[in-house]
Structure 1
Amino acid sequence: MEENYYIARDKTEEGPFTLKDLMQADIDADTLILSPNAADWQRASDLPELFHYFEARGYYFPTEDNLAGFGWRLLAYIADSFIMSYPIALLKPESFDAIYKRAMNGGATVDDLSTMMQFNLLTFLVMAMYHTICEFSPLQGSLGKKLFRLTVVDADGRRLSFFRALTRNIGKIVSGTALFIGYLWVLWDDRKQAWHDKWAKAYVLVKNR
């Protein structure tokens, strides 16, 4: 079958193109294309034969085959906890160990509890900014995620904007309430999204699957 692809740009139709020519035509994910296998125009990101073309340009489209499950995400979380443990330890108050021991023995004062809450909040904010910056950067995910070939994208396979990455990571404070049900949501969600993924309209994928 002859490969005849057409491109719609600026209200004009260009083509026909072979698939090879199409990949050299400076298309992006939103370019409208008429495929020889379709009766109507489609976004370039919806054509399976172009997936590898876009992956080479940093696009990773969410599909049923590449959504990261809870296990992979948990491994990345553990790795990030180790990676960030040292810089977070530098922020710990000198009296924190003594405060923690008093709390474990049931003798914590109101000031002790306030100090612990402040440190926990600071830890959360540091981790949230770490993940936000990594997801917004060309890494498209934390160092722990990179270790396990995971990447964070939006619904169109693109890198998250700073605001969307920030929304996702601040939202983790809600996902972590009520026995971490927002995180566990990945286990039964059809799109393997946690609550904070859904709010940011983001997906965690396994690359090159």
Structure 2
Amino acid sequence: MINNYYLIENNEQVGPFSHTELMERGLSPAEMVLSPLTNEWNSASNLPELHEYFTLQGIYLPTNANAANFWWRLLAYIIDYVVIILVVAALAVFLGFFEAYTGAHTDMLFDDRNDFAFKLVLVISFMLYHAIFEATRAQGSIGKIICQLKVVDMDGRRISFRKALGRNLAKILSSILCGIGYLLIFWNDRHQGLHDQMAKTYVIRKKN
């Protein structure tokens, strides 16, 4: 029967279960399942008929079909860059009004002598911005939210702040040598950049 699914529990085969009974058990992506559609054992994450179930649980399993390509990721990056520029511009305007009303000198923050420090703070802020958003339920920055992109681990789950921070620090390596680490997104089946591969993460596009 098409509903004859089997599981491995305590090193023993249990079942059969219908498709509905299988989902009611609360499957994990790594659980081994014998599907009547393939007649062989697979992890639950590899069975297409269970992908919708996992999506409803907030688990977005990375596949070749839902992997976000380079252009979607570039668009999200551009949106984030614009957001950061607007925030910096708003800060500059605020400091200008603050200086006008108080007489305090704030221009030293943008002094050429502090240019390196300012850029360093900007880079760190950009990394933290991405890491914090990726570790939240949104699973991505403002740009990724708009483009319906999510950062997930190998099991399709939300990543921790520690993994998100490591992923964004690894972007430094992706950026060197003319951004070759980012260009890997073109050649990888699941569009992973070097930093994705190092952090064992994926960027998927959630389609309506």
Paired residues of 2:110 and 2:118 also in contact (CA < 8 A): no
The number of residue pairs the alignment matches comes to: 195
Q: Please state if 1:192 is matched with 2:205.
A: no
Paired residues of 1:136 and 1:159 also in contact (CA < 8 A): yes
- Alignment partners' CA distance in 2, 1:193 and 1:149: 17
**Alpha-carbon distance, 1:164 to partner:** 1.6
Q: Which runs of 5+ in 2 are unaligned?
A: 96-105
Structure with greater proportional helix content:
2
Paired residues of 2:30 and 2:155 also in contact (CA < 8 A): no
Is 153-162 or 84-93 further displaced after alignment?
A: 84-93
RMSD: 2.1
Q: Deviations over 1:54-111 (max 9, x none)?
A: 0111111121111111111111011111222244453896245563xxxxxxxxxxxx
**Alpha-carbon distance, 1:14 to partner:** 3.1
Q: Deviations over 1:4-40 (max 9, x none)?
A: 0122223344321111221111212122222113344
Paired position in structure 1 for 2:11 = 11
- Alignment partners' CA distance in 2, 1:11 and 1:186: 39
**Alpha-carbon distance, 1:186 to partner:** 1.5
Is 153-162 or 120-129 further displaced after alignment?
A: 153-162
TM-score (norm 2): 0.84
TM-score (norm 1): 0.84
1:67-146 matches, within 5 Å, as 67-89=67-89, 90=91, 94-95=107-108, 99=112, 112=113, 115-146=114-145
- Alignment partners' CA distance in 1, 2:58 and 2:71: 24
Q: Which runs of 5+ in 1 are unaligned?
A: 100-111
SS at the partner of 1:16? strand
- Alignment partners' CA distance in 1, 2:167 and 2:180: 16
- Alignment partners' CA distance in 1, 2:82 and 2:141: 12
- Alignment partners' CA distance in 1, 2:184 and 2:109: 34
Q: What residue identity is the alignment partner of 2:148? A: R
SS at the partner of 1:176? helix
Is 117-126 or 14-23 further displaced after alignment?
A: 14-23
Paired position in structure 1 for 2:61 = 61
Q: Please state if 1:46 is matched with 2:46.
A: yes
- Alignment partners' CA distance in 1, 2:205 and 2:124: 26
- Alignment partners' CA distance in 2, 1:141 and 1:42: 30
Paired residues of 2:2 and 2:37 also in contact (CA < 8 A): no
Query: What percentage of aligned pairs have identical amino acids?
Result: 42
